[in-house]
Each structure stands twice: as structure tokens, then as C-alpha cells.
Amino acid sequence: MILTLLFNGVIALKNIDNLCLNCFEELENGSVCQSCNYDNDTPVGNDYLQPRSELCGRYTVGALVAHESDSAVYMGYDQQFDAVCVIREFLPKGISNRLEGNTDVHVRERFKADYDRMKASFINLWTTVMKLHNLSAVVQTYDVFELNATAYAVTEYMDSITLREFLLRNPDGNILWDKARLMFMPVLTTLEALHANGIVNGGICPDNLVLCRDGKVRLSTINIIEANVADSVLEFTPHEGYTALEQYDNTHKVCPATDIYAFSACIFRALVGQNPPSAVSRETNDKLMIPNSIAEKIPTHIIKALGGSLQVYPEKRTQTVEAFREQLNAAPAVVAASGNPIPKENEPDPIENEKYYKGYPVDDEKDKKKGNGVLVAILVILLIAAVGGGIWAVTTGKLPTGGETTTAETTTELATHVVPDFVSAGYTQSDIQNNAAWNEQFAISFVAEYSTEAEEGVIFKQSVTAGEEVDEGAEIVLTVSKGVETVEVPDVGGLDIEEATKILEEKGFKVSTVEVYNDNGHKAGTVKAEYGMAPAAGEVVAKGEEIILQVYGEEVTTTEAANDNNA
């Protein structure tokens, strides 16, 4: 395929067959690109547009990047402007595909009404985004059109990295509010505009907020809301720690506060260096842990703002972007006292080091969970903490002021730490693993055991006593409850009591007996065959439960019976 391009009146010919289908640079030798290592011979399934397909006589389809819940995403080439772009094709998972050799999207019969409704939502979403081209935090949308019995949105390709990757590459794993403010505040204007147009993103997380070369943070991915709720025909993949409670299958409604929750969780991740716990887990164990060394660097009004915006239930959460912005900016008097001016939204934070983009190693496993010192827990709006000797405990609803003191951090090489009480608070294994400071201070490992006392998944034993002072890196083994171990009750009816007891005790049961009348015909000391066990044979009960056996007593002879009658 030869593309004819006109530049300053000069016609240039470009052979698309000799371009990489991922970055659209010229191939030097063979099918593998020297610039991005993409192989043009990579097969693409029949469900997708095939490489080099043309749309509207203008866009050339390149490599398949991803298949999200509502759309397939391709790299693309805009022939009109000789520019790389991104092509999003409405192709909802599970309800649509392509028949071999056909470019039109095929929809399963029972989903056609859903498909048409969601396609209209897709078109409305991207048409709205295209109109918001003057906002700095959205990737520019160039074209929205219908073709192949589906719909498409063509957007700008931005050389960028995700917020998560940027934070992973940061030496400290987190950033200070002064830096975060310049990155995040402009995004609020975009969210406000989307909400004003009836659009709730529902999928904000560090993987789809991207940091571009101009220093601006942008929303790289926007899906229709049906792709981000559990009660939908579309595939729902929650972003743990960022997906709000109302997006799961429950009675709470998705609303602008849904985006405020997710965006606040991103700010939390940037400032603290760790993901918040999932919203579902916070319903029963509402803890947001912040290392003391980090909490001291976060302005009090920011902690308070995050407390309001990260409320579990949407009705209690900060409701509007405008209100959230005011909380983050704080009252003018507070701002003046802190010496931090209200940020201007046109002041991006440029990336000064090329390492943040290419050629710099990333350790996705570590997530750079930095932070030493005592842990501070935010319980909803209040800042509540109690670990070792240093305590921030707020019972009056007031946040700690700058004059309050906390436990001093150890800076010597032979640092020691007070072992927290991992048991009493009802922590789960994920709570521990997501806590940056604990994993810096101790070498924590886990074993699993059954427990009749502790709920499944909850820590119920620790190898080092809470309150003990240990060297940094000390090994601590935490025992996680596997819940109650259940066993099927074996049938021991008719067996000798010794044999029956042995069988039941080997299964982990306790055994007690009740002697029952033996009207002859039964061997003394045997278990009653019918209805002689409680719980009954075949029932599944907790291991360790008591089994009561009815055991026949000595046989009653004729003489004994006669004497009884004479008496």
C-alpha cells in the first residue's frame, strides 16, 4: 500500500507495508522493528480488525494494543496528517465478535438491545470528550464515526508513562504534596467538565492516568460506565483500591463522587507510596494506613480532604469536584499560614530527567513501598493511630496540629522498631502486605491454619509478641486463619464404642456417649445403628466438634425383667 502525502506542494510516497505497525517507523530489516521491537508478523485473532485495514479511507489500523471491557484498542496511522494515533473500536467483550472473513461486528441475538444502547453511550462519550478539546487533562479526540456495524473514536497518541510507572521509578516511591498538587489539580477541571456533561469515568486508577512529556497528567482511558460496574452485561474488572464500593454489586448508586473516590485514591498512592485497601474490605475493616514519617510531610488539610473524599459510602463522601478542590486548596488563611500558594492549573510539573521515559529499569514487584516509623491510621475522616509508644489518637474529631509530637524516627544504621499488635485489630494478609512501613521494618511471612475463633483471612497469631522492640529486618511469622475446618461425620453406627471413638477422634472430633436401653438383640457397648449419632452421619461440621453417641448398655435378661415386674 502506497500513501500519497502532500507537503508544501511536494508529493511524498510512503509505503505502509514497510512501516512498523506499532510505532510506524520505517522497518530496517525484516518484520521486527528496530525502534520498538514489535514484530509485524504477530498474529491477530479473527475478532479484531486485521493489520493494515483502512477506516474511512484515512486511518490505517496497526497493532492491537488491548481489548478493554467495551472496546478494542489499536495503534493507528492517520494518512491525512502523517501522524500516529490511537483507534478505539466499540467491541464489548462477551457479547460481540467477528465472523471469519467479515469486517462487520457480529452481536449475539439476546444482547442486541444492550449492544445498541451501549454503542450510543460510546458515541456520546467520545463525542463529548472531543468537544472538551480545550481541557489539558484529556487526550485529544480527533474523530468519532460509525462503520462496520460498530463505532470508532480516534485519539491522539501521547508519548507517556502511567502514573504507577512514574511512582515506581521515583527513588522514594512517593512524592510530596507540592509536586503532586501541580500534577493532579488540572485533572480536577477535566473531571468537573465530564460530570457537567453527565459522564462518570468510573475507571480512574494509576494505570490510566498518564504523565506526558509536557509534564501534564492526562486521562488516557475512558470507558462507558457499563464497563465499570458489576451489574452489567459487560465484563467488570475492578481496580482494587481505586474502584468505589458502589461499582460493585450493591444498592449504592454510581455518581460523580465515584470518580472523586478513585482520584483521591490516586493522590493517596502518590503521597503515601502504597495502594489503599479495597473498598469492599473497608466496609468491615476501615483502615487507611500512613507511615508516620510520611504523614508528617502531608499538610493537615490534605489529610482531612482525603478523609472526606475516601469515605466508603458515596452518600457520606465529598460530592462535587468543586468542593474537593476547595478542600485541597484549603481556606486562604490556612494557605497563607502554610506558605503554600494556591496552584495555578496551567503550571505543569515538567519531567526533567529522561530516565522517567525510556531505558530506566522498573521493579513492578516492589512498588517502592518506602517509609519508616510508627503507622498512622486514617479511619474515615478522623486520623486515628496507635502503635508502640508513639500515638496520634483523635477521639474528638480534631486533627493533630503541627505542634503535636510523635515518636522520633531512628536514623542510625542499627534501627529498632516496636512490633505492632497484628492480631487484635483484625488485620488481613493483604492489609499487612499493602503496608509499606511494616514491610520495610520487618521481614514478614505468613502461614495459614484453620481456626474456630478467627474469621477466614484474618491474622490470629504472631511469632513475636506485640510491643517487643526488635532490630530492623527481624523475622515475624503471622498466622492467617483458613476459617473453620469442616469434616464429614463418618457413620459409626453398629460399631463397638472403642472402634467408633477411634475413627471419630482420628477425624478430629471429640466423643461423648449416652447409654441407652438394650432390649436384647444388641451387643452391649455398640453404637446404636439408627439415629444413634448427633450430629448425624454424613453431616459436614466443624472439625473438633463434639459427637454424641448412643451406646447400648448390657442386655436385659428374662429373669431381670421378671424381677423388675414383680417389684
> Which of these, 139, 144, 180, lies nearest to 156 by C-alpha position?
139
Q: What is the DSSP letter of 358?
A: S
- Looking at per-residue confidence, does 397 or 309 come out higher? 309
Confidence of residue 133 (pLDDT cuts 50, 70, 90): confident
Q: What is the pLDDT of residue 536?
A: 87
For the segment 454-492, what is each residue's pLDDT rounded down to a tens digit?
Answer: 878 889 999 999 889 898 889 999 999 888 888 899 999
Confirm if 261 and 317 have CB atoms less than 8 A apart: yes
Percent of the chain residues topping a pLDDT of 70: 80
Q: What is the pLDDT of residue 378?
A: 43
Q: If you average pLDDT over residues 130-150, what whole number do you get?
A: 88
Q: What is the DSSP string of 119-182?
A: HHHHHHHHHHHHHTTT-TTB--EEEEEEETTEEEEEEE---EEEHHHHHHHSTTSS--HHHHHH
Amino acid identity at 206:
P
Buried b (16+ CB within 10 A) or exposed e, 2-21: eeeeeeeeeeeebebeebbb
Q: What is the pLDDT of residue 214?
A: 78
Q: What is the pLDDT of residue 425?
A: 67
Q: What is the DSSP letter of 28?
A: -
Q: What is the pLDDT of residue 76?
A: 94
pLDDT > 80? residue 318: yes
For the segment 421-431, what is each residue's pLDDT rounded down to a tens digit?
Answer: 888 767 888 77
Q: If you average pLDDT over residues 393-421, what whole number do you get?
A: 48
Q: What is the pLDDT of residue 558?
A: 53
What would the grid cell of residue 476 be?
Answer: 515475624
Q: If you average pLDDT over residues 333-339, what whole number do you get?
A: 42
- Looking at per-residue confidence, does 126 or 407 come out higher? 126
> Distance between CA atoms of 272 and 352, rounded to whole angstroms?
22
Q: What is the pLDDT of residue 407?
A: 36
Question: Cα-Cα-Cα-Cα dihedral of 181, 184, 190, 194, to 10°?
Answer: -120
pLDDT > 60? residue 402: no
> Distance between CA atoms of 278 and 262, rounded to whole angstroms?
11
Question: Cα-Cα-Cα-Cα dihedral of 323, 329, 334, 336, to 10°?
Answer: -140
Task: For the chain, give the mean pLDDT.
Answer: 79
pLDDT > 70? residue 414: no
For the segment 146-189, what is each residue's pLDDT rounded down to a tens digit?
Answer: 999 999 999 999 888 899 999 988 877 889 998 899 889 889 98
CA dist 429 → 413, 461, 465 (Å): 29, 12, 18
Looking from the CA of 451 toward its CB, the CA atoms found within 13 Å total: 16
pLDDT > 80? residue 416: yes
Q: What is the pLDDT of residue 376?
A: 41
User: Which residues share a beta bridge with 546?
Assistant: 510
What would the grid cell of residue 530 be?
Answer: 439408627
> Distance between CA atoms of 542 and 433, rounded to whole angstroms?
29
Confirm if 53 and 76 have CB atoms less than 8 A apart: no
> Distance between CA atoms of 549 and 239, rounded to whole angstroms?
52
Amino acid identity at 79:
Q
Looking from the CA of 92 toward its CB, the CA atoms found within 13 Å total: 28
Confidence of residue 562 (pLDDT cuts 50, 70, 90): very low
Q: If you average pLDDT over residues 37-63, what whole number do you get?
A: 92
pLDDT > 70? residue 331: no
pLDDT > 70? residue 508: yes
- Looking at per-residue confidence, does 462 or 387 come out higher? 462
User: In 157-243, which ranges are E strands?
Assistant: 160-162, 209-212, 217-219
pLDDT > 70? residue 120: yes
Neighbours of 306 (CB within 10 A): 25
Q: What is the pLDDT of residue 212?
A: 87
| H helix runs in 353-496, sequence order | 429-433, 436-441
> Distance between CA atoms of 510 and 549, rounded to whole angstroms?
11
Q: If you average pLDDT over residues 418-442, what whole number do you get?
A: 82
pLDDT > 70? residue 253: yes
Lowest-confidence pick of 293-297, 320-324, 348-352, 554-558: 348-352
Q: What is the pLDDT of residue 430?
A: 79
pLDDT > 70? residue 195: yes
pLDDT > 50? residue 232: yes
Confirm if 122 and 90 have CB atoms less than 8 A apart: yes
- pTM, full prediction: 0.59
